[in-house]
Structure 1
Amino acid sequence: MSGAALPLVRIPVGIVVERRKADSPWVDVVWRGVAVLPDEPETRPWTVLREEEGTTLFYAGSATVDLYPLETARYRDNLASGSPSIWIVLAPAEGAWPYSVAAATADPAEGEAFTEAGANLVEAVPMPEMLREAIESFIAEHHVEREFFKRKRRQADPEALARRQHEGGHE
């Protein structure tokens, strides 16, 4: 999510969500994002994919993984992490389902930023191979190493202060 810049590449993905019976006296079920499908399946949101022993997997809907040229260093760090991830963001929803798909991102900093809205469910899930390849290609095409420039501080000129005071007529 790079400010007002538009993404150069948008990759459609499907989001898989798990509802599991909670082992808690306070909540009945726990929801979490569990997988990203490489492409948008032609399936209605909230279709049950699998049910077994207190756990139900749903196709929750689609999102796009947006790629921005200025974020390539973060994508590269994600891929180099040893377990490349996509961050799934589910936002509280009114209606039949308690959550809706809010976003999916390959940018670890953006994924972390989504956790700041306390009610969002944010989960890092394994990145599908198709996405990893697309992101590697994007990095290869758009990454520019940016040098870090340390600003030099100007030395204070004690005489400049003395001259200003003298010129103003104050003694």
Structure 2
Amino acid sequence: MAQAAIHIEMPLGVVVRKSPGVTRWAKWTWKAVAVLPGAGPADWAEVRREGAVVDYHAATLPLVLWAAEAEAYVANLADSLPSIYLVLREERDGDPPLEAVLVTASPFEGQDYADTGEDIVEKIPMTPGLIAWVRDFTQEHFQPEHFVKRRRDKSRVDLTEDGKGDPRIRQTSDVYRAPRRVLQ
């Protein structure tokens, strides 16, 4: 019997939209709007322009699915809108000012990048074909953990008061009192 691959990979293009900002502090707003499964290489190629709004094929990054992450993919597929998570990093003096770093189908990995606060994590809806590809891989590798109820042991640990209070205190009335210095 053939063994299933522990990971599979697909090139995934990401489309990022540049729109005029709505405040005087932000000249432009950037938002990831689409994915292109199986796309060729790109480096901020203009795809569409409507007035001041421009869509760019920002980058093509590898989407890697790992067998060990199957539980995360199940959580993603169970969402009302399964998504790809795009990690963008700001470039100080770059044009364009964002660098596409990573794409992932794991919401847990996307959350890890969002927790740092240094990266921008965009959630992009998956295409139906991409949902099927992720679902097939997940069904092949996901092993649900069976719930095992923990049984309580019968030993009574509350019968002795080991470690309660300070042994230097001789009074039993206040075992949590701080010890006093003995004056001689």
Same fold (TM over 0.5): yes
8 Å CA contact 2:11, 2:40 repeated in 1: no
Q: 1:33·1:90 contact (CA, 8 Å) conserved in 2? A: no
* Residue 140 of structure 1: aligned partner: 139
Higher relative contact order (CA 8 A, sep 6+): 1
User: Does residue 22 of the first structure (1) align with residue 9 of the second (2)?
Assistant: no
Residue 84 (structure 1) aligns with: 82
Aligned partner of 2:119 in structure 1 is 120
Change in Cα spacing, 1:108 to 1:161, as seen in structure 2 (3 Å) is same
Q: Corresponding residue for 1:67?
A: 65
Number of aligned residue pairs: 156
Map of 1:56 onto structure 2: 54
Alpha-carbon offset, residue 148 of structure 1: 4.1
Q: Structure 2-normalised TM-score?
A: 0.74
Q: Deviations over 1:93-116 (max 9, x none)?
A: 243221111111111121122212
Q: Using structure 1 for the length normalisation, give the TM-score.
A: 0.79
- For residue 45 of structure 1, the aligned residue among 43, 46, 53 is 43
Q: For 1:28 and 1:148, how far apart are their aligned partners in 2?
A: 52
> Match for 1:131: what amino acid?
L
| Cα deviation code 1:38-83 (max 9, x no counterpart) | 11224x3111111112211001111122212222122122112221
C-alpha displacement at 1:147, in angstroms? 2.5
Query: What is the match of residue 169 of structure 1?
Result: none
Aligned mates of 1:117, 1:54 — CA distance in 2: 32
Report the CA distance between 1:15 and its aligned residue: 0.8
Q: Which amino acid aligns with 1:12?
A: P
CA shift in 2, pair 1:19/1:158, >3 Å? closer
Say which structure is richer in helix.
1
Secondary structure in 2 matching 1:23: coil
Aligned residues: percent identity? 30
User: CA 1:146–1:55 in 2, change beyond 3 Å: closer, same or farther?
Assistant: same
Larger radius of gyration: 2
2:178 maps to none
Backbone CA RMSD of aligned residues = 2.4
How far the C-alpha of 1:17 sits from its partner, in A, is: 0.6
